[in-house]
């Protein structure tokens, strides 16, 4: 299997905020060649692109503002054109927004159509709250993906945290799953985040199915609960995931 591995830069956000140039250099030095963006850290898209180029990094996707994605996509398109990625990600719903999933699915479909006119693909990044029933008794996750053509950036940790099977959802979303978020679950009562390959998620089965489901990129992400430091967790994730692909 030759699927490329990227890093969701949210993992190392504190390091990048302290010094973007040095932080990106450290990401590259540990062996990453692909990154998924989560903010510009005060840089213009052109300035950020220059730093990526300097360190031999390629942006494959970016988490974007939900407001921008649902309303005025012009800034989203401009950033993607400068930074060179194809995938734009709807990243999160605030607690007050976690209802009306049927309406949201329709709005996302329209945004996906408009982004598609610019050669961009919109993906929805799940957490666990989408598995809760909406006002009509139907789960949010089903509103979003049943009877729609919405693409997914499936986060395997959050699927498992919701009590579901990541492999089942990969099969359900086959052909609509260009990016897979690789995040492990600690073997503790809290079931918190863990470095890829150190927890309870069966990555072997996930990797066996990935290419057949149309996955193009595997992206390491760990929101918190890092091993020693965010950069060390990113390094361990890359090393362990890379070893599984050999």
Q: Crossing angle for the helix pair 230-245 and 203-210, nearest 10 degrees?
A: 60
Averaged pLDDT for residues 211-240? 97
Number of domains in the chain: 1
Query: What average pLDDT is seen over the chain?
Result: 97
Residue 83 sits at φ, ψ, to 5 deg, of: -85, -15
Q: How confident is the model at residue 2 (pLDDT cuts 50, 70, 90)?
A: confident
- Look up the CATH number of the domain holding residue 175: 3.20.20.150
Q: Are 94 and 69 in contact (CB under 8 A)?
A: no
Answer whether residue 109 shows pLDDT above 90: yes
Measured between its terminal Cα atoms, the distance across the chain in Å is 7
* HSE toward the beta carbon, residue 23, CA cutoff 13 A: 21
Q: What share of the chain has pLDDT > 70, as a percent?
A: 100
Answer whether residue 1 shows pLDDT above 80: no
Length of the chain in terms of residues written: 246
DSSP 126: P
Q: Supply the range of the domain harboring residue 157.
A: 5-245
Distances (CA, A) of 123 to 130, 139, 142, 179, 181: 15, 18, 15, 8, 12
114-156 pLDDT per residue, tens: 999 999 999 999 999 999 999 999 999 999 999 999 999 999 9
7-64 pLDDT per residue, tens: 999 999 999 999 999 999 999 999 999 999 999 999 999 999 999 999 999 999 999 9
Answer whether residue 182 shows pLDDT above 90: yes
């Amino acid at each position: 299997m030759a699927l490329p591995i990227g890093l969701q830069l949210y993992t190392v956000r504190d390091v990048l905020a302290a010094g973007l140039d040095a932080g990106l250099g450290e990401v590259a030095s540990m062996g990453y060649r692909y990154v998924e963006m989560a903010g510009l850290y005060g840089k213009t898209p052109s300035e950020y692109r220059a730093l990526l180029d300097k360190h031999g990094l390629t942006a494959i996707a970016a988490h974007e503002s939900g407001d921008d994605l649902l309303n005025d996509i012009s800034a989203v398109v401009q950033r993607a054109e400068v930074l060179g990625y194809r995938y734009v990600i709807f990243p999160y719903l605030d607690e007050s927004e976690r209802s009306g999933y049927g309406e949201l699915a329709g709005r996302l479909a329209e945004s996906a159509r408009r982004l598609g006119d610019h050669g961009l693909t919109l993906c929805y990044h799940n957490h666990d709250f989408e598995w809760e029933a909406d006002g009509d008794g139907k789960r949010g996750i089903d509103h979003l993906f049943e009877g729609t053509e919405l693409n997914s950036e499936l986060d395997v940790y959050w699927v498992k945290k919701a009590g579901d099977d990541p492999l089942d959802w990969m099969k359900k979303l086959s052909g609509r799953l260009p990016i897979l978020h690789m995040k492990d679950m600690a073997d503790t009562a809290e079931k918190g985040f863990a470095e890829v390959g150190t927890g309870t998620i069966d990555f072997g089965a996930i990797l066996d199915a990935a290419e057949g489901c149309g996955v193009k990129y595997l992206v390491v992400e760990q929101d918190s609960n890092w091993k020693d430091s965010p950069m060390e967790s990113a390094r361990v994730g890359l090393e362990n995931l890379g070893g599984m692909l050999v």
